[in-house]
Structure 1
Amino acid sequence: MTRVQKTVVVLTAVVALVLGLTINKVLNGKGQGDPVALLDAGIVLLPQSREIPRVQLFDTEGKPFALEQLEGKWSLLFFGYTFCPDICPTTLAQLRELNSKLPKEVQDNLQLVFVSIDPQRDTAEHLKQYLGFYKAGFIGVTGELPAIQTLANGVSIPFIPADTSQENYTVDHSGNLVLVGPDGRQRGFIRAPLNNQKLLDQLPGVLSAEE
């Protein structure tokens, strides 16, 4: 084996080791489950929790909603809009099914939050009516577009604001979920598309882990 070949082998081994340690650190910190199984379920945990931008939002009653109100329970945040033709209704239906099958103690410690990225059409009244259709206890919030963009960018779920001058406009956005801990800090993501069976196997362990 030549010197160059040996160098390549050594570098490849080092890269593999670093990558392995990084994945293990991200997915296996705090004993929240098997890293391979978590990744297979679409659950990606951050190596360190991340502060969430404290922006002013409004709930489905039109009252101010501070993100500190999420503290005390785990939360899953989904950014979407009520006129979405595909991703949003599918994801909300999956979340309803997932929540209904989780153990009772996990359900009681989990909040499902829908953040509208279309404040022009998603008024408090319309948002309340739309989420009420699912009968899943979704918390609905929206706000001024700059505040929503700040929040979305802060949790790495950016979206592309629509041209609201166009009739029946759509908004490009991600189907990923944001995992927020009882301390109000971001703990990770759940990647789209959701696999409820695998999430049912892995999510209770994550949400039951010690702080």
Structure 2
Amino acid sequence: MRFSVPVVGGLALLTTLAACAAPAGPTGAGDDSPYNGTEIGGTFELPDITLTDTSGEDYNLREDSAGSTTAVFFGFTNCPDICPTTMADMAQAVQLLEPEQREGVDVVFVTADPDRDDTEVLRMWLDSFDSSFTGLTGETADIDSAAEELAVSIERPEDRTGNYQVGHGSQTLVFSPEGESELMWRYGTEPDAIAEDLRLLLEEA
């Protein structure tokens, strides 16, 4: 198990990033790291929380992600920039992998806006990027609990009528097949850099 950043330091790092809409600056890790993303080995575990996938079935973040390298992102389908850009980048990165490598990767999009993002809306939106991506919705309290465990911020307006916006962390977290955190990609990490990291993680797995 890697501990490239201390647990406390890792939590502080992710909380800081989550407060930013779109972190600026380089997206790579330290000079000694083989990864483009930031190593957060062992800082988090996938939450043991059950949400609902786009087929209407229960999806436990920990149990149903077991056995795959899993990238998790919190966002919402009405997001004007960060969410569609991130999903497009993830889709391009996955397409850069070999077919057998793709089978070992899951991309999970958890809505931060369950009032509007029902299963049908999520499925239609994700299909515009990659039909293999998993979309999750559920009770607001469960979504917020999962985000809190992963130090991802979510801020909703009190008045959720009309075309409102939802504030959310812009980082993508990557977990091992055993459910332990491996990497964090900041918003703007290029698809080829993501694909390189995925290849390395799959080789390790």
Given the two structures, how large is their TM-score scaled by the length of structure 1?
0.76
Deviations 1:83-110 (A, max 9, x none): 1111111111111111000233321210
Aligned residues: 180
- In structure 2, list runs of 5 or more residues that go unmatched: 6-28
* Matched residue SS, 1:76: strand
Map 1:69-80; keep pairs closer than 5 Å: 69-80=64-75
1:62 aligns with 2:56: yes
* Matched residue SS, 1:113: strand
Aligned-pair CA distance for 1:39: 7.6
* 1:199–1:51 CA distance, 2 compared to 1 (3 A): closer
Q: Which residue in 2 is equivalent to 1:110?
A: 105
Q: CA–CA distance in 2 between the matches of 1:165 and 1:108?
A: 38
Contact 1:96 1:136 in 2 (8 A): no
Map 1:171-190; keep pairs closer than 5 Å: 171-190=166-185
* Matched residue SS, 1:168: coil
Contact 2:96 2:192 in 1 (8 A): no
Runs of 4+ in 1 over 6 A off after TM superposition: none
Q: CA–CA distance in 2 between the matches of 1:205 and 1:40?
A: 8
Q: CA–CA distance in 2 between the matches of 1:152 and 1:62?
A: 21
Contact 1:116 1:141 in 2 (8 A): yes
1:126 aligns with 2:104: no
Deviations 1:63-92 (A, max 9, x none): 211121110111001111111111111111
RMSD: 2.3
Given the two structures, how large is their TM-score scaled by the length of structure 2?
0.79
| More helix by percentage | 1
* 1:143–1:164 CA distance, 2 compared to 1 (3 A): farther
Contact 1:77 1:179 in 2 (8 A): yes
Q: CA–CA distance in 2 between the matches of 1:206 and 1:187?
A: 8
- In structure 1, list runs of 5 or more residues that go unmatched: 1-23, 28-33
Q: Percent identity, aligned pairs only?
A: 28
